A = this chain, B = another copy of it.
Amino acid sequence: MAGLPRDSGDARDTVVTLARSLGVAASTVSRALRGDPRISTKTRRRVEALAAERGYAPNVLARTLASGHSGLIALSLGPISNPFYVELMQEAVIQAAARDLRLLLLHAGAGPIEDQTAQTLLQYQVDGCLITSAELSSHAARICAVHNVPVVMVNRVPKLHASAIACDNFLGGQDLARLLLGGGHQRFAIIRGNPDSSTSIERERGFAEMLKNHGIDFDLRINGGSTYEGGFAAGRMFAEMPRDRQPDAIFAVADIMAMGVVDALRIGGIRVPDDISVVGFDGIAQGAWPAYAITSVQQPIAAMVSRGLDLLTARIGTSTVPDEVVLLRGELILRRSARLPVRMAA
C-alpha cells in the first residue's frame, strides 16, 4: 500500500468519498466542482453544498498529475537589499493569489540562480517563471526552453528565450536629464548599478543622450552596484573632490544608491540640493522619507506585475505565442533632492 499512514482521524475527503456520499460518479463530482457546463444545475448545487459542508479541498498535486498544470509560478527575486524588489514581490503575491496562481520562492539575492535550484522548476512542474533582475543561468534557461516553461523577466530585458516587462528606462533617464537641465545644472555625474544590466545601461543611455542633445558631455561615471553602500562610497568620493571639479547634479540609477549619495554628501558638509542635486530611479517608498526626499522616476509596479502575469499566462500550455517585450512609462516624481528651475517648465 502506498501513502503514509497520516494521522488516523484525518479522513480527508476526495472526489471519490464525496461521490459515494452523493451516489454519483467521481467524474461527476470533479466536473461539477469546476463548473463544467454539461452538469445539471441541480446536481452541481448538491455537489457544491456537500463540498462546502465537508470543507473539501481538491488535491492540486493530483490534479497536476492528471492535467499537466500545477498553478505554480516560480519566483526569483533580485537583490532584496534593494527595496524595489521587495515591493515587486509584495505586488506579485497579491496579484498571483487573485489569479489563483501560487508562487514558489526559488531564489532571493544578488547571485545567479543555481543549477540545483533550476531542477526544482522541473520537479515541481511549475507553469511559468517570474524573474526579477537576476538573469536566469543558461542552464536554467535551457531547462525552461526544452520543457516549454514560459519565462517572464521583470525589470530586465532578456538576453535569452524569455518575455519581459520593464519600465521604459531610456525615457526615464531622459526625463531626469531634462529636469536637471531645466534646473540650471551644468556638471553631471552618474552612478551606475550593475554595469552589465540592461536596466542600468538604458537609464544611463537616456540620460547621456538627452544631455548630449543639449551639447553637454560628462565623464564622471561610477559603478555603485545598486546598493546603499555603493552610493555612499561614490558620494564620499564626490564630496572629497575639489569644489570646482565637483558635479552639481548626480543621477544614481537606483533610489537606494541615491540615498547613500545624499548621506555621504551631507556628512561631507555638502548641502543637497543647494550645492548638489541628486536624483534617483525606481520610486521606492524609502525615497520619500523626509530625510531624503529623492526626486525620482516611479516605476509602475502594479502594472508591471499585472502585465507580467498576463504575458506569462498567455504562454502557459502553448508554444505558439512568441516572446514579447513590453515597456511601460514611468512617472517623474518631484521631491526636494533636486533643485528646480525658478519658473518650472511644463
Seen from chain A, the residues whose Cβ lies within 8 Å of a Cβ on chain B are 2-4, 6-7, 10, 12, 57-62, 64-70, 75, 80-81, 83, 86, 89-90, 93-94, 97, 102-109, 116-117, 119-120, 122-125, 146-148, 228, 232, 259-260, 263-264, 266-267, 285-286, 289-291, 317, 319
Are B291 and A291 touching (Cβ within 8 A)? yes
Are A4 and B69 touching (Cβ within 8 A)? yes
Bound Cα distance from A279 to B4, whole angstroms: 51
With A57-B122, A147-B10 as contacts: A3 and B66 at CB distance below 8 Å: yes
Are B86 and A3 touching (Cβ within 8 A)? no
Are B4 and A317 touching (Cβ within 8 A)? yes
Taking each of A83, A105, A125, which has the highest tally of chain B beta carbons within 10 Å of its own beta carbon? A105
Shortest CB–CB separation between residue A346 and chain B, in angstroms?
A: 31
Bound Cα distance from A94 to B117, whole angstroms: 11
Residues from chain B with Cβ under 8 Å of A317 in the complex: 4
Residues from chain B with Cβ under 8 Å of A94 in the complex: 108-109
Shortest CB–CB separation between residue A292 and chain B, in angstroms?
A: 9
Name the CB-closest residue of B to A57.
Answer: B122
Bound Cα distance from A103 to B74, whole angstroms: 10
Are B108 and A90 touching (Cβ within 8 A)? yes
Residues from chain B with Cβ under 8 Å of A264 in the complex: 290
Bound Cα distance from A61 to B127, whole angstroms: 13
Are B285 and A266 touching (Cβ within 8 A)? no
Pick from B66, B289, B319: contact of A2, CB below 8 A.
B66
Pick from B66, B106, B123, B267: contact of A58, CB below 8 A.
B123
Name the CB-closest residue of B to A62.
Answer: B65
Name the CB-closest residue of B to A55.
Answer: B143
Are B228 and A289 touching (Cβ within 8 A)? yes
Shortest CB–CB separation between residue A259 and chain B, in angstroms?
A: 8
Pick from B89, B104, B125: contact of A103, CB below 8 A.
B104
Residues from chain B with Cβ under 8 Å of A90 in the complex: 80, 108-109
Are A148 and B7 touching (Cβ within 8 A)? yes
Pick from B108, B267, B290: contact of A290, CB below 8 A.
B267
Pick from B12, B68, B102, B286: contact of A6, CB below 8 A.
B68
